[in-house]
């Protein structure tokens, strides 16, 4: 049985099932959505399998030509295997291209006793069993008053939402078009009224929060963001080299009855900025 988490930076659909862009929704003005990444962004993927199979990632160009075949690395656990893969478009030669990813199950199987990949007889490129929508990799991402993105990195200290942790210790990463600059400083104060009617402050706490607001996005991307921010409870969420945690819910805009896209927003709290002063 194969498990592919919805919290991965790339969404996969089984072969034979329509992807988001391929799906028609009744009474909805459907819009396609193609994810965007920088060529230098590290894309980290994982799948879980209870069998002794081997997997690779096929990268196909817009003419559906196979331009790269990347092998997953297996780690054996009690009762299941985790297959991990990290890459970027610069290293693999498809920068400034739109590509589609396919997960392929290779011929042969891992030795059930030793889990040694060298004992596996692999031939051909394998059978493609999952696919993504088209994804654009750009050598430079626009940063203008009309456009901007943030690369959100995340990991957990324990197995979470279908991802086996810890793996190689590195972050997963998702690039999202959004605004992320507006701050506020929530404060709490405790006061004491003395017998002479004077008031003194006995404690004061302050923290820094920053508002992330996305552009119009499909539901499956909002689902990813909610799963990603949930990593903060027992892990780490990093943006621009700063760790963030959550104290408030992720909210979506009211759905338009004729559109399949919504905006999302959340106030993120800077993890290591908490000022407290007491008597």
When pLDDT is cut at 50, 70 and 90, the band that residue 195 belongs to is low
Neighbours of 41 (CB within 10 A): 22
> Per residue in 216-237, pLDDT tens?
999 999 999 999 999 998 899 9
Token couple for 156: 């957990």
Confidence of residue 112 (pLDDT cuts 50, 70, 90): very low
Domain end, chosen from 113, 141, 169, is at 141
Question: Which of 91, 108, 141 is the C-terminal boundary of a domain?
Answer: 141
Q: Are residues 85 and 34 in the same domain?
A: yes
Which structural domain, as residue segments, surrounds residue 197? 142-279
The domain boundary, picked from 141, 164, 188, lies at: 141
3-state secondary structure of 230: helix
Please answer whether residues 115 and 2 qualify as being in contact, where contact means their C-beta atoms are separated by less than 8 angstroms. Answer: no
Same domain, 176 and 257: yes
Q: What is the pLDDT of residues 239-272, one digit of tens each?
A: 999 999 999 999 999 877 778 899 999 999 998 8
pLDDT of residue 244: 95
Q: Clarify whether residues 126 and 174 are in a common domain.
A: no
- Based on the domain organization, do 132 and 184 belong to the same domain? no
CB-count exposure of residue 225 (10 Å: 0-12, 13-18, 19+): buried
Residue with the larger pLDDT of the pair 203 and 100: 100
Residues 6+ apart with CB under 8 A from 37: 43, 89, 135, 136, 137, 138, 175
pTM: 0.87
pLDDT (tens digit per residue) in 3-51: 999 999 999 999 999 999 999 888 888 889 999 999 999 999 999 998 8
Domain tally for the chain?
Answer: 2
């Amino acid at each position: 049985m194969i498990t592919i988490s919805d919290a991965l930076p790339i969404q996969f659909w089984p072969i034979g099932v329509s992807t988001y862009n391929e799906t028609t929704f009744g009474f909805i003005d459907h819009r396609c959505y193609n994810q965007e990444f920088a060529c230098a962004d590290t894309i980290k993927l994982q799948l879980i399998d209870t069998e002794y199979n081997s997997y690779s990632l096929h990268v196909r160009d817009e003419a559906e030509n196979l331009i790269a075949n990347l092998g997953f690395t297996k780690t054996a656990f009690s009762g299941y295997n985790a297959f991990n893969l990290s890459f970027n478009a610069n290293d693999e030669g498809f920068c400034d291209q739109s590509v589609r990813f396919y997960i392929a199950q290779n011929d042969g199987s891992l030795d059930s006793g030793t889990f040694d990949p060298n004992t596996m007889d692999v031939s051909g490129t394998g059978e493609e069993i999952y696919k993504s929508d088209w994804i654009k990799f750009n050598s430079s991402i626009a940063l203008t008053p009309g456009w901007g993105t943030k690369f959100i990195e995340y990991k957990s200290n324990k197995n979470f939402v279908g991802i086996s942790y810890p793996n190689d210790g590195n972050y997963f990463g998702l690039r999202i078009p959004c605004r992320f600059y507006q701050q506020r400083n929530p404060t709490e104060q405790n006061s004491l009224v003395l017998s002479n009617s004077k008031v003194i402050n006995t404690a004061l706490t302050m923290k820094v929060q920053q508002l992330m607001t996305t552009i119009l996005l499909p539901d499956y991307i909002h689902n990813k963001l909610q799963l990603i921010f949930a990593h903060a409870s027992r892990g780490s969420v990093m943006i621009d080299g700063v760790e963030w945690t959550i104290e408030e819910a992720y909210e979506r805009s009211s759905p338009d009855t004729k559109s399949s896209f919504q905006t999302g927003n959340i106030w993120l709290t800077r993890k290591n900025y908490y000022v407290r002063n007491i008597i």
